[in-house]
Each structure stands twice: as structure tokens, then as C-alpha cells.
A and B are shown apart, each in its own frame.
Chain A
């Protein structure tokens, strides 16, 4: 997998957002990211794949290939979909270890979420937690297989 490292991707995202001055433009860009994220097949939109703790529906599925975790997700709220699209950009295709260690500081640097409370209400924290849970599960499986 030719995945760039997390720092590079985060830098790209920060640079993309730095082009916008107003919150309106930043949100419009985020909404566009949401629109561009391919919709998840309806068959995946089940309770099992729903992330708890979000006000809107967010479905997340993960797969494991050649030592890396791949994510697909969808949401019925467009801004939330934009957020999850950024998370996928950064975390999908990375190793479980990298995902678990990711600090995701770029969310602060793009200047949209200065308060943690905002990330709670938009479900970002819950999405990150769920992605890390998947990484942890795949890591445990890998460790078991290596024994």
C-alpha cells in the first residue's frame, strides 16, 4: 500500500483549510468533502455499524488487509459526513499501531473546533474512538496470529 504517512496527510488538510478565511468557507469546503465521500451501500447501514454517541446516524465499517486497516463510512448529516471523510483520509490504510497513536491535532489547527464540546456534539470524538477500537481489535488479532 502506498499510503502517505499521517503527518503528511494532516499537513495537506491543514493547508487546504488555510485557503479559507471565514467559517462559512471552511464549512462549505467541509460540506463538499462530505458530498464527495462515496455513499456506503445500504446493506451496511445497520445498527451493528452505527456509531453510538452521535446525534446523526454514522455508519462505519472496517476491513484489514496486508497489515493495514481500511475504513468506509457514511452519515445522514452532511457536516458529519465531511468530518468522517477527513478521518478516513487520514486513518484509512494505516497500520493499527499508527491509528492507535494518532493524535489528530489537525482538527484544532484547521481552526473549526476550538472547543472540545463542539467535537462531542458533532460526534467526532465518538467516530475517532470507534476507529481506534477497530485498530485495537485488528492489532490483537495480529498479535494472536503471530504467537
Chain B
């Protein structure tokens, strides 16, 4: 169960291969090469070039400690949790529940019962739509989302609105990639039962003022779900301070494995909501006449959960904490500023999403060149970017574009890698013109 601990001090140690270390003074406090060394995938090649991974907003790479946590679980204490009396079951249960406590602390929840493990953000949102939504949304009610939502924070509400004859309303996106707060205030009314809003846009990088938005929604009597898929890895999350009613995020975007996510819900809401899926684990007593349900959070965790990935989620959270989100953010923001400045120098390139508050991702288009062509050519240079609509088709439509090229940066990326991207873009544009 012991995951290798990474102490911040070990990260500032001089590494052996000092020749590869950056000379940039700004990066010295945060030893990026020592961090890179912990991500085995970063040493592979793609198309005979050194991999440059700029698709972190889609999924992040995994440090060795997370990979080891999975292997360790299966090698030493794989067992089904909660009911087993034997040692392995106990060890597995302890590790699984330790992860819940780690998540509780990571997002500032009041108690572990408010942390429900899911497959990811999408399942968390669907859980709320299918339980709280079905119980509380009625004909004529309004659900308010924004124009920059990921499809996973659109479609579940659309399905619910169709079923309940409720109305889906959309807060418009302004030209700079921020939301119209004026329109938001205007759209909020006594019929608004829920505001479901993304904290950080996966396509633009915009950080939305969710705290302010939650406060306004509550004044109007609406509940708020925050889609934290992109924000959880970059921003400090305190669900009590935000006062959101639900907060959903995924593990795999914060250096944890795929297939594990979290839904936070306020206890009184989670208690009042009907169950999501039926099965083992979520019950108290079952007879053919009647079933009573388990306490929180198990009420929403039917069946054998994703034990290994849940345990490794704690390892990933510990990894982030050992470096410090503020240090990571400082490094990532430097990368964002550096990339933004470099991209702005490329003729015909236009950055989509120019909000003042952004996380470390940059989306752009190039005049008369399809993003797809750029993506293919960059791949030949070993550079992984994302091209396309980023599962935000309504947003692309809003900007009148088929899609963008998106480079998203993580703690292990470097300015040198951005230089390679910029050179690759110059080269690709030349080839395509």
C-alpha cells in the first residue's frame, strides 16, 4: 500500500544529467527535469522523434508512483472491499477509503460521505441528472448551462429536459471566450432549478467566476453543479468555499488512472436523492418485497467498484501535493505565457479564447489551414496536440470555426518543447501553403 513518496526537496536536487537541464533561471525553483524523470512515457519516441505531449487537457500522463500503486495493489492485496473478513479485504478496504479521505481533503469537502466515486466526470453529471434531476425537475422548469460546456455537461440535461418537458437555457459566450455575466443574471429566474457550469473550459482555457455564479444562483433559489474536469488539476478547489451543490471531476486528468472519477455532493442533497444504480454494495437489506439502501456514500456505489484505480487516485493526489499546486501553477502559467507570445508571432494565427483568467491551455486556428492538417504534420514531428471540436460543437459554432488546434500543458512540459512546437508550426504552415 505504500506509494513512493516524492518530497519537494528531492525535486530541487541537482539531477545527474545536468546537460539536459534547462538553464532558465525561472524554472530552477521547480525542477522540471526531475519531474519528467518520474514519467516513463516521456522518454519514448513517436515517429522517431522525442515525444512532446501537449494533449494534457484530454488526459495527463502518469508518474511511476501511480503506475506502481496499481501494480502493488494487484501484486499484494487485491481483494473485494467492505465485506471480507480476511486480511487482504481489510487492507484493500483501508486503502480504498483512504483515497476517499484524500479526495475529501483535496477538494475541501466537509466529510468523506460527500465523496462518491464514479467512472469520471461524465458519470458524475449523469448521476445527478438521473437522481436529483429526475426528482426535482418538472415541466416548465429551467436548467441553465453555458455556451462553453463540454458535450457531457449538455447532453445529460438535454435528455432530462426532454423527459420532463423542462427548458434548457444557455449563457452566451463573449468574443474573448468569457461568459456574459450580464446575460447570466438576466437568464436566472424563479424557474431556474439548476445551473450546470464548467469551471474551466476545455476548449478555451477560460476560468469562469464560478464562486460568484454560485452565489447568484443560490440567491435565485437554484442549485449548482460544477464541472471540474479541467479545473481540479490546475486550481485550488474548496467546495465549501465555492458553496457548490455538486462538483464532478475525473482522476485521469490529474495524473491518476482512467476510469476513476469523483462526484461531490452536499450531504443533505445526496441523502434526499433517489438511488442511481441498483445492485450489491448500495443496499442495507434486500428481500423480494423491499430493499433498504445503504448509507452515504455507498448508496451511490453499486457493485464492485474500481478498487485499484481508486487507490491510485490517492497516489496521484499525494504526488500533486508533494510538489504543490501553487508551484505547478506557476510553472504552467509560465509555459502558457511563453506559448501565447510565440504563437501570436505566427502570421495568420489567431488564438481562440483570450480571457484574462486562463489555465495552461491554448486553442488556436490558422488562416486558410484546416486544424486537422496541422495535427497530422505535428504528429510526424512527435508532437501530440488535439485538433477538432474538443467535444464542444456548440462553442465551435459560436466562433464560426470547424475546430481548433489545442496545446495543453502540464507540470512536466518545458519551454524547449514549446520551441519545438513553434518551429513545427512554422514548418507545417510552409508545407501547407
Where the two chains meet, the residues of A that have a C-beta atom closer than 8 Å to any C-beta of B are 23-24, 27-28, 31, 55-57, 76-80, 118, 121-122
On whether the beta carbons of B431 and A55 are closer than 8 Å, the reply is: no
Is B376's beta carbon under 8 Å from chain A? yes
Question: B residues within 8 A CB of A24?
Answer: 427, 431
On whether the beta carbons of A78 and B370 are closer than 8 Å, the reply is: yes
On whether the beta carbons of A55 and B387 are closer than 8 Å, the reply is: yes
Where the two chains meet, the residues of B that have a C-beta atom closer than 8 Å to any C-beta of A are 47, 369-370, 372-373, 375-377, 379-380, 387-388, 402-403, 427, 431-432
Question: B residues within 8 A CB of A118?
Answer: 379
- Of B369, B370, B402, most buried by chain A (CB within 10 Å of CB) is B370
CB within 8 Å for A56 and B370 given contacts A27-B380, A76-B402 = yes
25 A-B residue pairs with CB within 8 Å:
A23-B380, A24-B431, A27-B377, A27-B431, A28-B431, A31-B373, A31-B432, A55-B372, A55-B375, A55-B403, A56-B370, A56-B373, A57-B402, A76-B402, A77-B370, A77-B372, A78-B369, A79-B373, A79-B376, A80-B372, A80-B373, A118-B379, A121-B375, A121-B376, A122-B372
Instruction: Give the distance in Å from the alpha carbon of A76 to the alpha carbon of B369 in the complex.
Output: 9
Question: How many A-B contacts if CB must be within 8 Å?
Answer: 43
Give the Cβ gap from B242 to chain A, nearest Cβ, in Å. Answer: 35
Instruction: Give the distance in Å from the alpha carbon of A65 to the alpha carbon of B375 in the complex.
Output: 38
CB within 8 Å for A23 and B370 given contacts A55-B387, A78-B432, A122-B376 = no
Closest 8 CB pairs of A and B: A77-B370, A77-B372, A56-B372, A55-B372, A79-B373, A77-B373, A55-B388, A23-B380
Question: B residues within 8 A CB of A76?
Answer: 370, 402
- Secondary structure at the B interface, as helix, strand, loop or mixed, is helix
Question: A residues within 8 A CB of B377?
Answer: 27, 79
Question: B residues within 8 A CB of A121?
Answer: 375-376
On whether the beta carbons of A23 and B372 are closer than 8 Å, the reply is: no
Chain A residue with minimal CB distance to B377? A27
Question: B residues within 8 A CB of A78?
Answer: 369-370, 373, 432
Instruction: Give the distance in Å from the alpha carbon of A9 to the alpha carbon of B377 in the complex.
Output: 26
Give the Cβ gap from A87 to chain B, nearest Cβ, in Å. Answer: 16
- Of B372, B375, B388, B431, most buried by chain A (CB within 10 Å of CB) is B372
Give the Cβ gap from A124 to chain B, nearest Cβ, in Å. Answer: 11
Besides A55-B375, A79-B373, 10 more A-B contacts (Cβ < 8 Å) are A24-B427, A27-B376, A28-B431, A55-B372, A55-B387, A56-B372, A78-B369, A79-B377, A121-B376, A122-B372
Chain A residue with minimal CB distance to B48? A23
Question: B residues within 8 A CB of A27?
Answer: 376-377, 380, 431
Give the Cβ gap from B45 to chain A, nearest Cβ, in Å. Answer: 13
Give the Cβ gap from B391 to chain A, nearest Cβ, in Å. Answer: 12
Question: B residues within 8 A CB of A23?
Answer: 47, 380
Instruction: Give the distance in Å from the alpha carbon of A76 to the alpha carbon of B377 in the complex.
Output: 16
Question: A residues within 8 A CB of B376?
Answer: 27, 79, 121-122
On whether the beta carbons of B431 and A31 are closer than 8 Å, the reply is: yes
Instruction: Give the distance in Å from the alpha carbon of A77 to the alpha carbon of B402 in the complex.
Output: 11
